[in-house]
Structure 1
Amino acid sequence: MTNKPQIKVPATYMRGGTSKGVFFKLSDLPETVQVPGPTRDQFLLRVIGSPDPYGKQTDGMGGATSSTSKTVILSKSNEPGHDVDYLFGQVAIDKPFVDWSGNCGNLTAAVGSFAISNGLVASDRIPQNGVAVVRIWQANINKTIVAHVPMTEGAVQETGDFELDGVTFPAAEVKIEFVDPVGDAAMFPTGRLVDDLVVPGLGTFKATMIAAGIPTIFLNAADIGFKGTELQGDINGDEKVLAMFETIRAHGAIKMGLIQSIDEAASRQHTPKVAILAPAAAYTSSSGKVIKVTDIDLNVRAMSMGLLHHAMMGTAAVAIATASAIPGTLVNLAAGGGDRSELRFGHPSGTLKVGAEVVQIDGQWKAKKVMMSRSARVLMSGSVHVPGEVV
């Protein structure tokens, strides 16, 4: 039997926030991969090394975690008033599918940098020194994101002294604004700030279910037997606990109108997210850093692709920021209640500061924008190699 040789495809391996992914220019992809469909998915699965029954992604670029099993496709934007179209694919590790249902907020921090360095932003919009404002059209969810990318001598400034918990080394700060992250859709799909979520076999839990940044189900940690200061090792090795979170997620997805039956949840792992909340309490982060009660307003732990996230997804941080600014949500109450435009929350790797501007119009809450700072860096550039039969 004759096998097709490998093909080389230009690609850049980048860190954005606390995630890593393989970035492509749409025009650099093989023609059969430039359009959505099974061939594109098969190509990206092979690039990342999935599905891998061993859960290691040894034969690909993936890092065997939800934070490092990611792909990005970028192109010049056809959307008026935008520079670049950003399409994100979350690649499953042990299953043969790519989830296109949501955004990756962390990798958003790298989109502006890649776009500038790869000629996707008009030269007259890029200052020689200062800050380039890159207008991003997030094609998965049809939303606008603005990235403020530092520039030095006409090149993206990647090195700096900005520290981001969950990332080992400092880098240049990239400020991100998620503009109108909900749009005309209902921010609270059920119409309520707090619901009683009935989960057969487990009980009924108070829940705030919000669609801002990414659909997210917030629960009080104490209601399901947690403190809210847990690290990955406290949860990810317990199959019974993971199954409980997945059951809660599936029933929450139905209540939010994202799926019609429990069976559909298995093919929609990226959304919604489940996060647990607790009032501020001291703990030691996964790096050994001591987080004092005075450092934070509350603790949040979030599940991603079936496991506790090592830090916090950027999109979930958008949901946290938005919900915290609305009096009466579980997030707002866990942070102490009242009116607030920003907060700092604790996560397994440390802390993160976020802010949100919200308004109430005709009884409905709207988010004008959500702000946070991340960092990004090119790790490797060149080509990825994949067996020719996948395209």
Structure 2
Amino acid sequence: MAFSPQIKIPATYMRGGTSKGVFFSLEQLPQALQEAGPARDAMLLRVIGSPDPYGKQTDGMGGATSSTSKTVILSRSSKDDHEVDYLFGQVAIDRPFVDWSGNCGNLTAAVGAFAISNGLVDAERIPQDGIAEVRIWQANIGKTIIAHVPMSSGQVQETGDFELDGVTFPAAEVRIDFLEPADGEGDMFPTGNLVDTLAVPGVGSLQATMINAGIPTIFLNAAEIGYSGTELQDDINADAKALAMFETIRAHGAVRMGLIGSVEQAAARQHTPKVAFVAPASAYQASSGKQVEAADIDLNVRALSMGKLHHAMMGTAAVAIGTAAAIPGTLVNLAAGGGERSAVNFGHPSGTLRVGAEAEQQGDKWIAKKVSMSRSARVLMEGWVRVPGDTF
């Protein structure tokens, strides 16, 4: 029996924020993969090593967590006043499924650097030294993001002394501005309310803030579901009953937000919405051993991604946190002490994160103008990934 040899596809393995993924330039993909569809999905699944019934992604580039099972495809932008189009694919670990329904805010920090290094940004827009402003069109959700990428001697500067909780080593700071980040699928608050009562069979009636900003997110009060808000990964991820509860909440919240028509459809939309729970500031020891004091934060937030508690905080969920914190009356705002605010510093399992947000009320609706945060990024490896020739 003849077997197809492996083929090589140009790729770069990058960390962005607290995530990492495999980056591709659209024009360097094989012709059959330059259009969205089953062939492209099959290639990305094979690159990452999914589906893997062992849950390890040993035969691929994935790291067997939602934070490390990611892919990015970039191209010169088709939009005016943008440099690059950014398409994100979240690869399921144990199923043959690539979710294209949302953005990855963490990997956004690496998009500008990749675009500059791979010739997707015109040379006249790149300073020899200083900050390059890369205007990104986030194709999954149809939003503009601006990455402020540090440059040194004509090259992207990746090293530096900026420390990001959830990332072991310091690197250069990359500021990210998410412009008008309310999700493109409808109003920022799809139910029309800042707080709803969400009825979840088998769980109960829960207070919930459901928001489309950065990524559709369902915020709950930690105390209502039996938590303190200081939990670390194992406290949730080692509890199968808790994970099932969160998935049930997510499915019913997705229906209430109008993202799906029935709870049965939630399995085909794992990446969105996210579920997070909030609590007033209290001290805890982060997963790194770092002591986080109540006086250093405004509130605690824990969030789930792809069915598991995230080890830090998803960048897109941080956008939702910052936006909701800026709007008086949301559960996030109330947990942070209420009132008006333009920034929030919250605790997560790996430490803390500060997010700035601008929101304003127009008539009976709230509009998010901008959310900003700092991340870091660097190239881990570049060259080619290989997949069997009969993959697609």
Residue deviations 1:179-232, cap 9 Å, x none? 011277311000000000000111000000000000000000000000000000
> Shift in Å at residue 100 of structure 1?
0.0
| C-alpha spacing 1:183/1:105, structure 2 compared with 1 (3 Å) | closer
Deviations 1:71-92, CA, capped at 9 Å, x for gaps: 0000000100000000000000
Q: In the TM superposition, what is the alpha-carbon distance from 1:281 to its structure 2 partner?
A: 0.3
For the residues of structure 2 that align with 1:316 and 1:298, how far apart are their CA atoms? 15
Question: Could you tell me which residue of structure 1 aligns to residue 191 of structure 2?
Answer: 190
Q: What is the Cα deviation at residue 301 of structure 1?
A: 0.2
Matching of residues 312-327 of structure 1 within 5 Å:
312-327=313-328
Instruction: Provide the residue aligned with 1:12 in structure 2.
Output: 12
Pairing 1:369-388 to 2, within 5 Å after superposition = 369-388=370-389
TM-score, L = length of structure 2: 0.99
| Deviation of the 1:307 alpha carbon | 0.3
Partner secondary structure for residue 389 of structure 1: coil
Q: Which amino acid aligns with 1:303?
A: L
1:89 aligns with 2:102: no
Opposite residue 25 of structure 1, the aligned amino acid is: S
In 2, the alpha carbon distance for the partners of 1:31 and 1:55 equals 31
SS in 1 for 2:390: helix
Corresponding position: 1:105 with 2:93: no
Per-residue deviation, 1:120: 0.1
Opposite residue 118 of structure 2, the aligned amino acid is N
One-letter code of the match for 1:275? A
| 2:33 maps to 1:33 | yes
Corresponding residue for residue 357 of structure 2: 356
Q: Which residue of 2 aligns with 1:180?
A: 180
Are residue 261 (structure 1) and residue 262 (structure 2) matched?
yes
Deviation at 1:313, TM superposition (A): 0.2
- State how 1:7-156 maps to structure 2 within 5 Å: 7-156=7-156
Q: Percent identity over the alignment?
A: 75
SS at match of 2:265: helix
Deviation of 1:363 after TM superposition, in Å, equals: 1.7
Aligned-partner Cα distance in 2 for 1:201–1:77: 47
In 1, Cα distance between the equivalents of 2:74 and 2:154? 21
What SS class does the counterpart of residue 390 from structure 1 fall into? Answer: coil
Q: Which amino acid aligns with 1:311?
A: A
Report the 3-state secondary structure (helix = DSSP H, G, I; strand = E; otherwise coil) of the residue aligned with 2:131: strand
1:286 matches 2:307? no
3-state SS in 2 of match to 1:310: coil
- Structure-2 separation of matches of 1:13 and 1:225: 39
| 8 Å CA contact retained: 2:183, 2:214 | no
Deviations, residues 86-125 of structure 1 (Å, cap 9, x unaligned): 0000000000000000000000000000000000000000
2:65 counterpart letter in structure 1: T
Gaps of 5+ in 1: none
Deviations 1:225-260 (A, max 9, x none): 000000001010111110000000000000000011
Measured in 2, the distance between the counterparts of 1:271 and 1:110 equals: 21
Distance 2:165 2:34 in 1: 36
Are 2:141 and 2:183, in contact at CA under 8 Å, matched by a contact in 1? no
Aligned with 1:250: secondary structure?
A: helix
The 1-side partners of 2:148 and 2:90 are apart by 24
What code does the residue aligned with 1:10 have? Answer: P
Distance 1:349 1:183, change over 3 A: closer
Two-structure CA RMSD over aligned residues (Å) = 0.7
Mapped contact 2:183–2:215 kept (Cα < 8 A): no
Rounded to whole Å, the distance in 2 between the matches of 1:197 and 1:386 is 45
Which string of whole-angstrom CA distances, capped at 9 and with x for unpartnered residues, describes residues 116-138 of structure 1?
Answer: 00000000000000000000000
Q: Is the 8 A contact 2:183 2:213 kept in 1?
A: no
Give the Cα–Cα distance (whole angstroms) in 2 for the partners of residues 180 and 146 of structure 1: 11
Deviation of 1:161 after TM superposition, in Å, equals: 0.2
Distance 2:127 2:230 in 1: 43
Provide the C-alpha distance between the structure 2 equivalents of 1:349 and 1:202, rounded to a whole number of angstroms: 28
Q: Is 1:296 matched with 2:301? A: no
Aligned residues: 391
Letter in 1 for 2:273: P
SS at match of 1:215: strand
Deviations, residues 302-336 of structure 1 (Å, cap 9, x unaligned) = 00000000000000000000000000000000000
Structure 2 residue identity aligned to 1:307: K
Give, in whole Å, the separation in 1 of the partners of 2:37 and 2:281: 45
- 2:278 alignment counterpart: 277
